[in-house]
Amino acid sequence: MRNAIDLAGYTLSLHNQLETARVDRELRDLTSSLKRLQEDNMNDSAAVKVITFVSAIYLPGSFIVSLYGMNFFVFDEDLRQIVIAKDFWVFLATWLPLTLVTGLIYVLIVWFDAWWKRKPFRFFQRPGKEDMSESEMQVGKEFADD
């Protein structure tokens, strides 16, 4: 009778170990998938930042041109080439300050967001290890071990 109880206990223990190993494998697969997803998100967010930066430079100029309804570049039929119009300075005098104001508003929004979340203000810097919590660093160490 004692042997039967021991056999049942060993069988349950083996079953628990197998289940634990299966769950461990699934969690490792899940964490590696989440790591790849996080890396993809970081790459996508970097691309979106570049697109936003380029748009912030070009859109004010497009707005000014459409607002004035002028062609600042004209085609000279005698010279057979494109020539800058005489009132091109009007475009520059409005486009440049509008672009700078757009950039300043963006910096202020980023600064206010960091202030609101009580985080350090970073403009051109990625978050480093010093900003990670203990649990995030532990997860990073586990990924490095794999």
Q: What does R_g of the chain's alpha carbons equal in angstroms?
A: 30
Is residue 84 within a helix (H) or strand (E), and if so which, with residue range?
strand 81-84
Sorted by where each begins, the domain ranges of the chain are 40-145
Tokens 């998100």 -> residue: 41
* Contact (CB, 8 A) for 31 and 143: yes
pLDDT in tens, 24-66: 888 888 888 888 888 777 777 777 777 888 888 888 888 877 8
**What distance in Å separates the CA atoms of residue 17 and residue 15, rounded to the nearest whole number?**
5
Q: pTM, whole model, 2 decimals?
A: 0.47
Residue 141 confidence (pLDDT): 58
pLDDT in tens, 102-145: 888 888 888 888 888 888 877 666 555 555 555 555 555 555 55
